[in-house]
Amino acid sequence: MEEQDWVYSDVVKDHFLNPRNYLMGDESKFDYDAVGLVGNPICGDQMRMYIKVVGGVITDVRWKTYGCASAIASTSALSELAKGKTLDEALKIDAKMIDDYLGKLPKHKFHCSVLGHDALRDAIEKYRTKK
């Protein structure tokens, strides 16, 4: 493998060390409208995405994840990208957009950017189902 395949960008490092919108503590203290859950608890990768929606716009996002630095950084970036978007706009945020925002993940970690996207999609679907 090329050395660059194993190097994290400064943006990835920043989002890992200083995650945005991470839900610390008790979920009941965050006034959310829906929560999405994806992952496999057996292998340790699990993600929850909490959304607050006002007038069809995601006004706030919080998340929790059990995963590697790439999963944490990807979800942090996704939470920043999703805020202020309509539900349909947020659904268009894909793994490539997250990867580009982060300045590229190592190739063997690209799959980590998919977890957050899937959790957000699940939260939006649950929000729409309960309306």
Could you list the residue range(s) of the whole structural domain that residue 99 is in? Answer: 3-130
Cα 114 to Cα 120: distance, rounded to the nearest angstrom: 10
Chunked mean pLDDT (size 10), the chain, 131 residues: 63 93 86 91 77 98 88 93 98 92 82 82 96 68
- Residue 37 burial by CB count (10 A; 0-12/13-18/19+): exposed, middle or buried? middle
Segment 95-126, tens digit of pLDDT = 889 989 999 887 777 777 778 889 999 999 99
Number of domains, the chain: 1
Cα 105 to Cα 99: distance, rounded to the nearest angstrom: 6
Q: What is the largest CA-CA distance in the chain?
A: 49
Q: Are 10 and 40 in contact (CB under 8 A)?
A: no
Look up residue 75 and give its two tokens. 């979800």
CATH code where residue 51 lies: 3.90.1010.10
Q: Indicate which residues carry an active-site annotation.
A: 43, 112
Look up residue 118 and give its two tokens. 């899937």
